[in-house]
Amino acid sequence: MKKASVFNLNGQTTCTLGYSALVYNRYGCFCGFGGSGKPVDGIDECCKDHDECYDTFERNKNCTGISAKWEAYDWGCENSTSSCQDTNDRCHTLLNLRNQSEDCAVPVDVCEKTSRRIQYETMKWPVVPLLILLTAESIGSAPLAHIKSKNPYNLNSITACMVGRSALWYYNNYGCYCGLGGSGVPVDDIDECCKEHDECYGQALDQNICSLFGVYLMPYVWHCGDNSTASCSDFNTACGVFICECDRKIAECWKKYPQPEEKKSCVVPTSTTLSTTSELV
């Protein structure tokens, strides 16, 4: 299977084009899972070129062990232009710039921008594969009630639109609430944003607006507008609208604070600390 790095690619597509790469999923012969035959048009040719770019990267002997499909890398978004960040090492930089290298006939974002846009009404949403849940091992060992994995595909793209950076790179596994799980006292304002986001998702479940599947995997339609703003489409279901607003609000919250220089760890009280506290009370 040829699976694009759904988080990074979707974020960069949103930055460059103003809408989600999901509109291209299952389009033609090469956009999405698999890839064979003859491209049906220019858009599909872009996807074929992109598959070949990733194949070339994975054959690079200097980047052995790095998956082009799932590796996270650091990038920025400004004025509808995505750029590689200096925090990447050599291979991550190579992966980020792959669409602009000599190994690709046409940069995928430029190609898509000059091709016709697929309308929402003609889309066929796939069942989102479970591999979207980034840490399957953690999920497999965690009680279901404690899983608070975000909808990473949509959230990463909205963050790219509004904040200009990758949510996966900067905020995943940050503090006590950004990422899998969620408990304790937020370490700072950024972590507080994630706590509020968890609570927003919780409301969708408590109010029976979304099923458990819908909260964590519901694809929704949204638009990246001028001045780094995001809006949720009326095409969405009630669940899609609610989850979209949750994701839009956390991106709005993150935008208030400077880009984190490092990821803070969650401080979990020890049993001794808890015992002392209870005695004082």
Q: Where a domain ends, among 90, 122, 154?
A: 122
The pLDDT of residue 130? 30
Both tokens assigned to 271:
């049993």
Q: Where a domain ends, among 53, 87, 122?
A: 122
In a domain, 265, yes or no: no
In a domain, 129, yes or no: no
Q: Are residues 174 and 107 in the same domain?
A: no
Q: Are residues 150 and 180 in the same domain?
A: yes
- Provide the CATH number for the domain around residue 70: 1.20.90.10
Q: State whether the Cα torsion 215-156-95-39 is positive or negative.
A: positive
Q: Are residues 73 and 13 in the same domain?
A: yes
- The DSSP-derived string for 111-173 is HHHHSPPPPGGG--PPPPPGGGSS-HHHHHHS-GGG-----HHHHHHHHHHHTSB-HHHHTTT
Strand, helix or coil for residue 264: coil
CA-CA distance, 183 to 180, in Å (whole number)? 10
The pLDDT of residue 221? 84
Q: Are residues 44 and 17 in the same domain?
A: yes
What domain range includes position 76? 6-122
Contact indicator for 130, 120 with CB cutoff of 8 Å = no
The pLDDT of residue 252? 96
In a domain, 276, yes or no: no
Q: Are residues 116 and 148 in the same domain?
A: no
Q: Are residues 112 and 148 in the same domain?
A: no
Both tokens assigned to 24:
């291209």
In a domain, 1, yes or no: no
Q: Are residues 68 and 117 in the same domain?
A: yes
Number of structural domains the chain divides into? 2
Choose, from 44, 74, 109, 247, the residue flagged as catalytic. 247
The pLDDT of residue 24? 77
Q: Are residues 144 and 118 in the same domain?
A: no
Active-site residue 146, yes or no? no
Q: Are residues 166 and 93 in the same domain?
A: no
In a domain, 212, yes or no: yes
Q: Are residues 191 and 84 in the same domain?
A: no
Choose, from 50, 92, 197, 198, the residue flagged as catalytic. 197
| Residue 248 CA to its chain's centroid (Å) | 13
**Phi, psi torsion values for 39, nearest 5 degrees:** -55, 140
The pLDDT of residue 149? 34
In a domain, 267, yes or no: no
Classify the phi-psi angles of 26: left when phi > 0, otherwise alpha if psi is within -120 to 50, otherwise beta: left
In a domain, 63, yes or no: yes
Active-site residue 247, yes or no? yes
The pLDDT of residue 235? 81
The list of the chain residues with pLDDT below 70 reads 1-8, 19-20, 22-23, 33-34, 57-58, 61-75, 84-152, 269-281
The answer for residues whose C-beta is within 8 angstroms of residue 164's C-beta and 6 or more apart is 15, 76, 77, 78, 228
In a domain, 117, yes or no: yes
Q: Are residues 151 and 232 in the same domain?
A: yes
The answer for residues whose C-beta is within 8 angstroms of residue 18's C-beta and 6 or more apart is 80, 161, 223, 224, 225
